[in-house]
Chain A
Amino acid sequence: DAMVIQNPRYQVTQFGKPVTLSCSQTLNHNVMYWYQQKSSQAPKLLFHYYDKDFNNEADTPDNFQSRRPNTSFCFLDIRSPGLGDAAMYLCATSIRLYPYNEQFFGPGTRLTVL
């Protein structure tokens, strides 16, 4: 089945230790998104890629970076995780940006910062 896969599902890191989260998709979608979701809150968009074109949200901290080496894979790098970065990180894809860009989500990676 075509899908969005995130690895690992659970990640524990230490304060200040860099961490990379992975997302892959078999849908062959042009757009990939990264969201941060803290407990009982709405998902917050961090950035997205349209093909190789990277778009950062204005309020995304510099501590968060992303790479998309090819259509199928996208990575989220957190350079120096703080306690406030503990959250669920969701990857999503869509065929196009808008207007009818239904997004398909992966299962998420739960990040714990000690």
Chain B
Amino acid sequence: KQEVTQIPAALSVPEGENLVLNCSFTDSAIYNLQWFRQDPGKGLTSLLLIQSSQREQTSGRLNASLDKSSGRSTLYIAASQPGDSATYLCAVRRVGTTDSWGKLQFGAGTQVVVTP
């Protein structure tokens, strides 16, 4: 059974510092991994999607790496801003079988606060 863990559950950094968010998963048989942002009381916004054949993906200040063999992904946010305050969730898409069809398995998220 795939388990996705995000540690720490909460993180506070001063503005300008780089953010490093961790995601680990127990089964390396994944198609891809997706990082989401969730603002309080809101839905999920997709940030980055990394295919299993890729080692990293970049978008602006965001960079996500994937090490499938060790079951880890890291999301880096450069030069953090107060507007980056949110909960960040990772989700892995399992390789399809007769009963899993590649469904998303989420971590519980890391709540980030960037202080001015």
Q: How far is the CA of A97 from the CA of B107 in the complex (A)?
A: 20
Asked if B103 CB lies within 8 Å of chain A CBs, one says yes
Which of B41-49, B64-72, B74-82 lies on the face that meets chain A?
Answer: B41-49
17 cross-chain CB contacts under 8 A: A4-B43, A42-B108, A88-B41, A90-B43, A92-B44, A98-B93, A98-B96, A98-B101, A99-B102, A100-B32, A101-B93, A102-B46, A105-B44, A105-B45, A107-B43, A108-B43, A110-B41
Indicate the member of A43, A90, A103, A110 with the most B CB atoms within 10 Å: A43
Residues of A in contact with B, size category: 20 to 34
On chain B, the number of residues with a Cβ less than 8 Å from chain A's Cβ atoms is: 27
Asked if B89 CB lies within 8 Å of chain A CBs, one says yes
**A70-106 residues at the B interface, CB under 8 angstroms:** 88, 90, 92, 97-106
**Interface residue from B43, B102, B107 paired with A105 (Cβ < 8 Å):** B43
